[in-house]
């Protein structure tokens, strides 16, 4: 059986399916992986953007907003690709029950995946919050302020520091989202990795938790990962191309049954 047909079969057999996505799914929408050649960390030193430096240094805050605004300018133009759209369609069909993502770009939501079924482990760049009073803004509003010359935006309510709702180096992972991700991974029947190198912890442990609890594990990624030997199926290639083929198999199977 061809790989897409096998994934389609396993989707049909699973009553709890988790899709776990990393940077590789969004590179197909034109968003460079921060760690890849040409990504932000080839231009900036990530050690300069720790949460502690953001809190303690005005210069660090200025550099952070310069870097973050550059990144958001790219993300704001990006559109969901075939992989995002396929995941959303499979959710509407009742075949995908949760999406856990390491990505901060919000493309799953733009593709139509239900917000209540998405766990964003590293936060989102689509909103900005005050670190003091927690007032929140749409990112576009603050983005325009920075482009207009405001180097370090401050809260108009309390004067506190504003920061995109992403998890920075040295910043604690969101407790509720992390706990929920581990819980559903331990209860699922099928765990599908898309576009993740599976090196960033604690997220990289989720496929292991799922597999050890008895789930089937599928890894779709352009490059090898250290968990390939654990997987029930490894597909080396484009997330978009693969998921288009999987969705086609699912649709054809449903049409044949009608």
Task: List residues with catalytic annotation.
Answer: 122
- Tokens read off for 125: 């760049």
Question: Residues 194, 221: contact at Cβ < 8 Å?
Answer: yes
Backbone angles phi, psi at 17, to 5 degrees: -115, 130
Q: What are the C-alpha distances in Å from 227 to residues 128, 230, 252? A: 35, 5, 31
Closest CA to 239 of 10, 5, 24, 20: 24
Distance CA 90, CA 77 (A): 25
Residue 214: DSSP 8-state: T
Closest CA to 76 of 131, 23, 134, 124: 124
Count the residues in the chain. Answer: 258
Question: Residues 152, 66: contact at Cβ < 8 Å?
Answer: no
3-state helix, strand, coil in the chain (%, to 5): 45, 20, 35
What are the DSSP calls for 141-177, one per residue? HHHHHHHTT-SS-B-TTT-PBEEEEEPPBTSPPPHHH
In sequence order, what are the residues at sequence separation of 6 or more whose Cβ sits closer than 8 angstroms to the Cβ of residue 250?
8, 11, 12, 90, 93, 95
CA of residue 115 relative to chain centroid, distance: 13
């Amino acid at each position: 059986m061809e790989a897409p047909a096998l994934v389609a079969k396993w989707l049909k057999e699973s009553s709890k399916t988790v899709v776990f996505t990393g940077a590789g799914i969004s590179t197909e929408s034109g968003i460079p992986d921060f760690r890849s050649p040409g990504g932000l960390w080839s231009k900036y030193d990530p050690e300069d953007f720790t949460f502690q430096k953001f809190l303690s240094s005005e210069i660090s805050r200025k550099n952070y907003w310069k870097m973050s605004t550059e990144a958001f300018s790219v993300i704001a133009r990006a559109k969901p690709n075939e992989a995002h759209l396929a995941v959303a369609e499979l959710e509407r069909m009742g075949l995908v029950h949760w999406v856990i993502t390491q990505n901060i770009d919000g493309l799953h939501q733009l593709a139509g995946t239900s917000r209540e079924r998405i766990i964003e482990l590293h936060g989102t760049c689509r909103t900005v919050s005050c670190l003091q009073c927690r007032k929140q803004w749409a990112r576009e509003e603050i983005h325009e302020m920075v482009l207009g010359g405001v180097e370090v935006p401050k809260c108009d309510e309390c004067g506190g520091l504003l920061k995109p709702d992403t998890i920075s180096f040295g910043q604690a992972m969101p407790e509720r989202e992390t706990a929920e991700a581990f819980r559903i991974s331990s209860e699922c029947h099928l765990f599908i990795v898309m576009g993740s190198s599976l090196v960033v912890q604690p997220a990289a442990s989720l496929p292991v938790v799922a597999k050890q609890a008895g789930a089937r594990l599928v890894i779709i990624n352009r490059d090898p990962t250290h968990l390939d030997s654990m997987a029930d199926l490894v597909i080396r290639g484009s997330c978009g191309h693969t998921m288009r083929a999987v969705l086609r198999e699912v649709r054809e199977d449903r049409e044949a049954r009608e």
